Structure formats: structure tokens, C-alpha cells
Chain A
Amino acid sequence: GQSLEQPSEVTAVEGAIVQINCTYQTSGFYGLSWYQQHDGGAPTFLSYNALDGLEETGRFSSFLSRSDSYGYLLLQELQMKDSASYFCAVHYGQNFVFGPGTRLSVLP
């Protein structure tokens, strides 16, 4: 089976940098992706790591280390609008299994 763990909550101030970790126990997967979800809204895709290393997309970066069964999402220059829940997800071919999510609160 697949099991993912994320911190339940993270708090940071505007302009800061925050890292949201995702650890997993799984028998094998194709890649790790990240989604953002504002309260009451739909999840939206942020990034995907098929290979180990860092992927950068604007203020957001994502990292994967298969040897450590670990990934993270890095958010830089935090803005109030970044307050949301963030989910990591492992890919098994065409299937996705999501982590429990991390609620990020950005304070002024």
C-alpha cells in the first residue's frame, strides 16, 4: 500500500520562505506532485517531480529524493494569498494517491 505523511499545519509571515515536507512509504511510484487547495475550492496543480532533484516554477520549488523517501515543496516570498492547504501526491501510472495535506497560514 501507499502511505504519505505531511505536517498538519505550518505558519509563516509574509515575505518569508516555508518548506512543506512529504514523506512516504510505498512500494514504487512514478513521481511526486503537489497541489494547492484554497478553502472551499478545487485542488490545483503546482508541480511534479519525476526524477530526483529540484524543480523550480516561479516562487514555488519542489524536491524529490527517492533514496530518502522524501520530498518537499518550497514556497518563497510568501504572500497572503498563499494561505491554503497543500497536498503531495504519488503517481502510480495513471493513479494518484494524496497525502493528508498541510494547512499553511501566512501572517501579515
Chain B
Amino acid sequence: DSGVTQTPKHLITATGQRVTLRCSPRSGDLSVYWYQQSLDQGLQFLIQYYNGEERAKGNILERFSAQQFPDLHSELNLSSLELGDSALYFCASTTGVNTEAFFGQGTRLTVV
């Protein structure tokens, strides 16, 4: 158990819909990262937050947004969903000075 919790584990929704994925980082970790992993693909960096503020942005679509709340949990919002958005979405956290990232078990999103 990495200490990072993601909910839900699975999500099936229709095209055009909007979903919210939730991540609770390890206790004490200030940085949260979101990654997208399509089938048999690598980890595509989406966005990073540190202590509530956006720190870095990767290849995140305009239809996607995220935020980190005062209690440090983070949410990734995906809207106007398309079939191609079907993927595993991982959240990871670090202390901010650590070299190791701890990943949650991911949310498997299926858009039908």
C-alpha cells in the first residue's frame, strides 16, 4: 500500500459526459501529480500541484482541469468525454524534496 488513495477504481460513462477523479496523497506529501496511461502506453504527465498551487502542466487537454484543496487532496475533472479519453488515470504524491513518487492504484475510465 503506497498510502495514496484514488477513487473510484473504475468508472464507465458515456461520451459527452463529465467525471471527477479524486486523489488523497500520502500523509505529509505536498505535491500531487496526475498521469494518463492509455492501453499499453507510457505515463503521460498531465499536471502537478504543490500545496494547493499549480506547479507544472503537461499535455493536458483544455477539457480537463484539476485542483488541489487545502486538505491537500486533489481532483481531476474530465469533461466532454470522448472515446479516446478511456485510460488509466494515476495520481502520485511526493514530499516535494523526496526522489520517490508514490502512486495510487489508479482509476480506470471507460468511455462508451
Name A's B-contacting residues (CB within 8 A): 31, 33, 35, 41-45, 48, 50, 87, 91, 94-101
Chain A interface SS verdict (over half): strand
- How distant is the Cα of A97 from the Cα of B43 in the complex, in angstroms? 8
A101 CA to B42 CA, complexed, in Å = 6
- Residue count of chain B within 8 Å CB distance of chain A: 24
- Convert B80-112 into 0s and 1s, putting 1 for each residue whose CB lies closer than 8 angstroms to a CB of A: 000000000010101010011111111000000
Contacts between the two chains (Cβ within 8 Å), count? 54
In the complex, the answer to whether A95 meets B55 with C-beta atoms within 8 Å is yes
Report B29-61 residues with CB < 8 Å from chain A CB.
Answer: 31, 33, 35, 41-43, 45, 48, 50, 55-56
Q: Is B2 close to A, CB under 8 A? A: yes
